[in-house]
Amino acid sequence: MEKTYLELNPSQRILLGPGPSNCHPRVLKAMATPLVGHLDPDFLDVMNDVMELLREVFQTKNQLTIPMSGTGSAGMETTLVNLLEPGDKAVICINGLFGQRMADIVERCGAEVIKVEGEWGDIIKPEQVESALKGSGAKLVGIVHAETSTGVRQPLEDIAKIAHENGALLLADTVTSLGGLEVKIDEWGVDVAYSGTQKCLSCPPGLSPVTFNEKAREVIRNRKTKVQSWYLDLTMIENYWGQERFYHHTAPITMNYALREALRLIHEEGLQQRFARHQKNSDAFVAGIEAMGLSMLPPKEYRLPSLNAVKIPDGVDDVKVRKMLLDKFNIEIGGGLGVLKGKIWRVGLMGYSSSQRNVMLLLAALETALKAQGYSVKEGAGIAAAAEVYGL
Inform me whether the pLDDT recorded for 245 exceeds 90. Answer: no
From residue 348, give the alpha-carbon distance in Å to each of 126, 202, 321. 27, 12, 16
3-state helix, strand, coil split of the chain in percent (to 5) is 45, 15, 40
- pLDDT grade for 253, boundaries at 50, 70 and 90: very high
DSSP code at position 178: B
Residue 379 has pLDDT above 90, yes or no: yes
How much is the mean pLDDT over the chain? 97
* pLDDT for residue 254: 98
pLDDT band at 247 (very low <50, low <70, confident <90, very high): confident
Q: Which domains does the chain have, with CATH numbers?
A: 25-267 (3.40.640.10), 272-390 (3.90.1150.10)
Find the mean pLDDT for residues 374-381.
Answer: 95
For the stretch 8-56, pLDDT in tens is 999 999 999 999 999 999 999 999 999 999 999 999 999 999 999 999 9
Using DSSP, how many helices (H) and how many strands (E) does the chain show? Answer: 14, 14
Report the relative pairing of strands 169-173 and 140-144 from DSSP bridges.
Answer: parallel
Q: How confident is the model at residue 246 (pLDDT cuts 50, 70, 90)?
A: confident
207-212 sheet: strands from edge to edge: 64-69, 207-212, 192-194, 169-173, 140-144, 89-94, 112-117
In 325-349, which positions are buried (b, 16+ CB within 10 angstroms) versus exposed (e)? bbeebebbbbbbbeebeebbbbbbb
Question: Residue 360 — pLDDT band, cuts 50, 70, 90?
Answer: very high
Contact 95, 119 (CB under 8 A): yes
Average pLDDT of the segment spanning 335-361: 97
Percent residues over pLDDT 70 in the chain: 100
Q: Are strands 89-94 and 192-194 parallel, antiparallel or unpaired?
A: unpaired
Say which residues have a Cβ less than 8 Å from residue 19's Cβ, sequence separation at least 6: 148, 176, 196, 198, 199, 205, 348, 350
* Average pLDDT, integer, range 189-193: 98
Instruction: Pick the range with the lowest mean pLDDT from 115-124, 141-150, 244-253.
Output: 244-253
Q: What are the pLDDT digits (tens) for 270-313? A: 999 999 999 999 999 999 999 999 999 999 999 999 999 999 99
User: In angstroms, how far is the first alpha carbon of the chain from the final one?
Assistant: 58
SS3 at position 22: coil
Which amino acid, residue 283? D
Residues 6+ apart with CB under 8 A from 106: 80, 84, 90, 92, 112, 113, 142
Instruction: Assign 95 a pLDDT band (cuts: 50, 70, 90).
Output: very high
Q: What pLDDT does 28 receive? A: 98
**What pLDDT is stored for residue 1 in this prediction?**
83
Q: How far apart are CA 153 and CA 262, in angstroms?
A: 23
pLDDT of residue 266: 98
Residue 224 pLDDT? 96
CA dist., res. 62 & res. 55, Å (int): 7
- Tell me what percent of the residues of the chain surpass a pLDDT of 90: 98
Report the Cα 175 to chain-centroid distance in Å. 2
Tell me whether the omega of the peptide bond preceding residue 20 falls within 30 degrees of 0, making it cis: yes
State the average pLDDT over residues 112-132: 98
pLDDT recorded at residue 105: 98
Instruction: Give me the DSSP letters along 120-133.
Output: BTBPPPHHHHHHHH
**pLDDT recorded at residue 93:** 98
Say which DSSP state 303 is in.
Answer: B
The predicted pLDDT at position 243 comes to: 85
pLDDT tens readout for residues 220-242 = 999 999 999 999 999 999 999 98
pTM above 0.85, yes or no: yes
Taking only the tens place, the pLDDT of each residue in 150-170 is: 999 999 999 999 999 999 999
